[in-house]
Chain A
Amino acid sequence: MKRLTNAGILAGTTLIATGAMAQTELSMWYHGAGNEVESNILNGIIEDFNAAQSDWTVSVESFPQNSYNDSVVAGALSDNLPCILDVDGPVMPNWAWSGYMQPLPISEEAIAGHLDSTVGRWDGEIYAVGLWDAAVALYTRQSTLDDLGLRTPTLDNPWTGEEFMAALEAAKASGDYEYAFDPGMAWTGEWYPYAFSPFLQSFGGDIVDRSTYQTAEGALNGDAGIAFGEWWQSLFTVGYAPGTSQDPADRDNGFIEGKYAFQWNGNWAGVATIEGGVDDVVFLPAPDFGNGPNIGAGSWQFGASATCPHPEGVADFVEFALQDKYLAAFSDGIGLIPASEEAATMTENYAPGGALEPFFGLSEAQALVRPVSPGYVVAAKVFEKALADIANGADVADTLDAAVDEIDADIEANSGYGH
């Protein structure tokens, strides 16, 4: 009997010990294949997480960013999603609404003090949390401002629309530049709604009516939308900016080479611009066209797939990854804005006096996330085409009306997208 009791104790102890040692695997998909620096930082975080606790072990599969969303949609269709999903901020509502993701059981304390734009909320719940954000600024040289006799706009006192256009006119009249302004027409895709819809919002319009998310009527093609469209078209007809045929090489190097006086660009290009020889570069806030100055917001975030049986494990991983030292490591590695102010002070570029410090202030003060709706992924493509058409000379009112019809038809076809 005693022997049996001992055997039972031994077996029980072994089971408990095995249970304590066994880590449940959490598979993860990430968009960073091909980016060695980013992959190394993420792998480091995963190694630290796997070693720091005994409940979970994360294994990552990286995908190229350009095809990542297609891979996730295909994975969802074939019931083959991982536990941890990496999702671009504006796409998250669509994936949540489509049933690809589930709410992330993370506490509000864990994200206290983080930039609002790094927290992905849909339908009143947190679905994803990001370690960084991106911001756009108006690049120019201090010497350009001085030569043209322009005042330096600040976050508290940005340029008005009139001041901005006067600056472009002064740069054009100087004859020193091929174009006064490079908005980045060579960068197609998400760049258009991310970078240019804030101008529309500053005019008082929007891609859709955010009060209901049921229509774009009046938001995109109302008086403010028309005013924005006419201003947008004038950039190209008057010759302030290169059009849709802009050489991608000029987009990458034109400002550095002095072809453009002003450039609308993201924080990710800041270091390369300085290293390219523009040592007096200044990052100016967006101009205010009457309804407040805005820039886009919302970058990549982590969430749990709908089929993941362990969302609490995903939340554990995300909370672990949100440590300031990791936010700072990502920022130093790939140049993005860390999600918290504490982390920003630990970075090379966003600490007080850092080369890119103005971007953190821009994110805090001017960031406006793109429409938080599952329909955004369609509306964004419609908006991109409309802006390209208007830049190429299409009638502003007709083009915006057609875009509204297309967006509204999509919303109706999807029964309002759950709003």
Chain B
Amino acid sequence: MAATNPDNRGLRLVVRYAVLTLIAVIFIFPLLFMGMSSLKPDQQLLSDTSSLRAFLPVGDLSLDNYREAFARAPVGLFVFNSVLVTGATVLLSLAICSLAAFSFTFLEWKGRGVILSVILATLIIPFETIAIPLLLLVSKLPWIGLDGLEWGWLNSYRVQIIPWIADGLTIFLFVQYFKDLPRELIEAARVEGASWFQIYARVVMPLSGPVLATAAILKFLVMYNQYLWPLIVVQQESYRPVMVGLQYFFQLNIAWGEVMAYLTLITVPVLAFYLVLQRAFIASIASTGVKG
């Protein structure tokens, strides 16, 4: 067997890095364009789009667009609302969906296969088809709050959170992951006298880091990008999320610099969340083959 030529190996490494760098650049270009454009006046921003200057910090740079964006819309409030709704939904979703998946995977009960199939079948139903019936439903649901019993969930955080907690995709992710866990661990715990909830909490969940990260990131993106649902259930500015807030910037004459500044600001929580969980996310993709 011939030994690998060190020159070829070096060349292959260079080519590999060149390709990877190219891919990285392609992926980072939109972010770069957004960030750079947010620092430029509209006239320059539009004229730069026809050249590579669009990706470079050149010309008349300032933070004016950020200042104008904050003046045009309550950006901080919108980001707070989105982070609150998204964070609460992600946490509750991980808890509820993992419990459901645990039940489907490890507990023996009649009809679980059929019910799981029905839940998975909901994945093919576009949200737009159920938006109006769901709106009619939540507008008449009761709620017990600080002021006692009230009717209707509109204009609240709960209407943006509760309907989105359980979903077929998250349950499916957990079921697929739980199926690959060694059965011996579960059986050993049962022999030791552990209850099913103890097995869920102390055996299964500590081993589920990758799927938790995957489900969290996918759910985060869905929730953070919510537009149609909050648009129809929230009429008060105080509960509006970032994507509805984006519409504040689309006036007759669109101030593109402010749009880019706003987009840059609302992208920060998404990037931060992804960076925190990226190792577990990549590990999960590698182990389950699930792509986001």
Q: Which residues in A have some Cβ–Cβ distance to B below 8 Å? A: 29, 33-36, 61-67, 70-71, 74-75, 77-80, 248-249, 252-253, 268-269, 272
* Chain B 182-238 residues near chain A, CB threshold 8 A: 231-233, 235-237
Contacts known (A34-B247, A71-B235); A78 close to B253, Cβ less than 8 A: no
B276 within 8 A of A: no
| Chain A residues, CB < 8 A from B252 | 268
Q: Determine whether the beta carbon of B139 is less than 8 Å from that of A67.
A: no
Contacts known (A64-B250, A70-B232, A252-B253); A78 close to B244, Cβ less than 8 A: no
B17 within 8 A of A: no
Bound-state Cα–Cα, A2 to B135, Å? 59
Q: Determine whether the beta carbon of B135 is less than 8 Å from that of A78.
A: yes
Give the distance to chain A from B254, nearest Cβ to Cβ, in Å.
8
Give the distance to chain B from A133, nearest Cβ to Cβ, in Å.
15
Give the distance to chain B from A182, nearest Cβ to Cβ, in Å.
16
Q: Determine whether the beta carbon of A74 is less than 8 Å from that of B231.
A: yes
Size category of the B interface is 20 to 34
Give the distance to chain A from B74, nearest Cβ to Cβ, in Å.
10
Bound-state Cα–Cα, A65 to B236, Å? 15
Contacts known (A77-B132, A77-B135); A62 close to B237, Cβ less than 8 A: yes
Q: Determine whether the beta carbon of A64 is less than 8 Å from that of B49.
A: no
Interface pairs (11), CB distance under 8 Å? A34-B249, A35-B251, A64-B244, A64-B250, A66-B247, A67-B244, A71-B232, A77-B135, A77-B136, A78-B139, A80-B235
Q: Determine whether the beta carbon of B253 is less than 8 Å from that of A272.
A: yes
Contacts known (A74-B231, A272-B253); A34 close to B46, Cβ less than 8 A: no
Give the distance to chain A from B136, nearest Cβ to Cβ, in Å.
7
Q: Which of A75, A78, A253 lies in contact with B136, CB distance below 8 A?
A: A78
- Of all chain B residues, the one with the shortest Cβ separation from A80 is B154
| Chain B residues, CB < 8 A from A269 | 253
B112 within 8 A of A: no
Q: Determine whether the beta carbon of B251 is less than 8 Å from that of A34.
A: yes
Write the B240-262 contact mask toward A (1 if CB under 8 angstroms, else 0): 00001101111111100000000
| Chain B residues, CB < 8 A from A80 | 139, 152, 154, 235
Give the distance to chain A from B96, nearest Cβ to Cβ, in Å.
26
Q: Determine whether the beta carbon of B231 is less than 8 Å from that of A75.
A: no
Count, A-B residue pairs, CB within 8 A: 69
Q: Determine whether the beta carbon of B244 is less than 8 Å from that of A65.
A: no
Contacts known (A36-B72, A77-B135); A253 close to B46, Cβ less than 8 A: yes
| Chain B residues, CB < 8 A from A252 | 46, 253
Give the distance to chain B from A159, nearest Cβ to Cβ, in Å.
27
Q: Determine whether the beta carbon of B250 is less than 8 Å from that of A74.
A: no
- Of all chain A residues, the one with the shortest Cβ separation from B233 is A74
Bound-state Cα–Cα, A269 to B72, Å? 20
* Chain B 170-189 residues near chain A, CB threshold 8 A: none
- Binding site secondary structure of chain B: helix
Q: Which of B71, B232, B244, B253 lies in contact with A74, CB distance below 8 A?
A: B232
- Of all chain B residues, the one with the shortest Cβ separation from A272 is B253
| Chain B residues, CB < 8 A from A33 | 73, 237, 247-248
Bound-state Cα–Cα, A404 to B154, Å? 40
Which of B136, B248, B254 counts the most chain A CB atoms within 10 A?
B248
Contacts known (A64-B244, A77-B132, A249-B49); A70 close to B231, Cβ less than 8 A: yes
Bound-state Cα–Cα, A45 to B251, Å? 22
Bound-state Cα–Cα, A232 to B73, Å? 40
Q: Determine whether the beta carbon of B46 is less than 8 Å from that of A249.
A: yes
Contacts known (A34-B72, A79-B139); A64 close to B247, Cβ less than 8 A: yes
- Of all chain B residues, the one with the shortest Cβ separation from A27 is B235
Bound-state Cα–Cα, A292 to B219, Å? 58
Write the B65-81 contact mask toward A (1 if CB under 8 angstroms, else 0): 00000011100000000
| Chain A residues, CB < 8 A from B233 | 74, 78
Q: Determine whether the beta carbon of B72 is less than 8 Å from that of A67.
A: no
Bound-state Cα–Cα, A80 to B73, Å? 24
Closest 6 CB pairs of A and B: A34-B248, A64-B247, A74-B232, A78-B139, A249-B46, A66-B247
Bound-state Cα–Cα, A318 to B238, Å? 27
| Chain B residues, CB < 8 A from A67 | 231, 244, 247
Give the distance to chain A from B215, nearest Cβ to Cβ, in Å.
30
| Chain B residues, CB < 8 A from A272 | 253
Bound-state Cα–Cα, A61 to B154, Å? 15
Q: Determine whether the beta carbon of B249 is less than 8 Å from that of A29.
A: no
Bound-state Cα–Cα, A33 to B75, Å? 13
Bound-state Cα–Cα, A69 to B254, Å? 19
- Of all chain B residues, the one with the shortest Cβ separation from A134 is B252
Q: Determine whether the beta carbon of B73 is less than 8 Å from that of A34.
A: yes
Q: Determine whether the beta carbon of B235 is less than 8 Å from that of A61.
A: yes
Bound-state Cα–Cα, A370 to B261, Å? 37
Bound-state Cα–Cα, A268 to B249, Å? 17
| Chain A residues, CB < 8 A from B72 | 34, 36
- Of all chain B residues, the one with the shortest Cβ separation from A276 is B43
Give the distance to chain B from A54, nearest Cβ to Cβ, in Å.
27
Write the B137-151 contact mask toward A (1 if CB under 8 angstroms, else 0): 001000000000000
| Chain B residues, CB < 8 A from A78 | 135-136, 139, 152, 154, 233
Bound-state Cα–Cα, A378 to B72, Å? 32
Give the distance to chain A from B39, nearest Cβ to Cβ, in Å.
18
Given contacts A36-B71, A71-B231, A74-B233, 9 further A-B contacts (CB under 8 A): A34-B73, A62-B237, A64-B247, A74-B231, A77-B136, A78-B154, A249-B46, A253-B43, A272-B253
Which of B43, B73, B139, B251 counts the most chain A CB atoms within 10 A?
B251
Q: Determine whether the beta carbon of A29 is less than 8 Å from that of B235.
A: yes
Bound-state Cα–Cα, A265 to B139, Å? 42
Bound-state Cα–Cα, A61 to B239, Å? 12
Q: Determine whether the beta carbon of B231 is less than 8 Å from that of A61.
A: no
Give the distance to chain A from B200, nearest Cβ to Cβ, in Å.
38
| Chain B residues, CB < 8 A from A34 | 72-73, 247-251
